[in-house]
Structure 1
C-alpha cells in the first residue's frame, strides 16, 4: 500500500528526531499580530555542532538558505561528518538588502529580515470637485 510506504518514509528514523519541512512558507505580505505590524521576519536554529566558519547564509530566488558542513572529526562514538541545508521562503515584501544574522555563544543562529517600508508621503491634499446639477 502506497500510503503506508509514504508514512514510513515520513516517520522519524530514530527516537527524538523531528524532521523539518524543506520549505516553510509565510504570508506574502506584511505580517500582523493582534493588529500590530510585525517589523521583521525572523528564524532561529541550533547550529552548536558547527563553527561560524562552517555555516553559510544566503538568499537565492526568494529563499533564505542556511547551510552547515563540517568534515569528519572524532566524537564520543568514533568519527562523524555532518552537513545540513535549510530553506525558508521569504515574504514578498522582505527587504533582502538588510538581512542580519547573529550566532549566540550557545550556538543559536538567528536570521532577521526586515520588511520593506512603504514610502507614503507625509500628507496628501485631495481637491474637492464641485459637480453642477
Structure 2
C-alpha cells in the first residue's frame, strides 16, 4: 500500500494540512448556470473599494490591493478569466459580501450555441 505523499519533503515530518502548501488555486469557483456564468472569488479582508473588476474582449480581470498600515503589510490579488461564449457585457454584475466577490456574466441571447454532432469514422 502506497503512503500518501507529503506536500513537500521539508513539511513531511510536521503534522500540517497539506492544503496549506498546495500549488494552484482553490480561491475561486466558476460555473455555468442557466444562461450565465457565475464566478465566486474568496477575497477575505478586502474592502470593496480595494477591488477592481473589468471586462475586456472576452476576458474578465479581477484585481485587489489591500494595505494594512498597522501591520505594515500589503496584499495583492490579480487573476484573469477567459470566457468561450459571447457575454452581454452591459449586463455583467458584481457583488462583494462576507469576503466573497460574486460576478455574474450573462450570455448574449444570440450567442446560444446549439452545437453540431461530429460523425465518428471507423
Using CA pairs below 8 Å that are at least 6 residues apart, which structure has the higher relative contact order?
Answer: 1
Question: Could you list the runs of 5+ residues in structure 1 that have no partner in the other structure?
Answer: 1-7, 9-13, 32-36, 120-133
How many residues are aligned here? 90
Larger radius of gyration: 1
**Which whole-Å deviations, capped at 9, do the CAs of 1:53-73 have from their partners, x for residues lacking one?**
100000123110000002242
Distance 1:16 1:91, change over 3 A: same
Distance in 2 between residues matched to 1:62 and 1:20, nearest whole Å: 21
Deviating above 4 A after TM superposition, structure 1's stretches of 4 or more consecutive aligned residues are: none
TM-score by length of 1: 0.57
Q: With structure 2 as the length reference, what TM-score do the two structures score?
A: 0.62
Runs of 5+ in structure 2 lacking a partner? 1-7, 9-17, 112-122
- 1:100 is aligned to 93
CA RMSD of aligned residues (A): 2.7
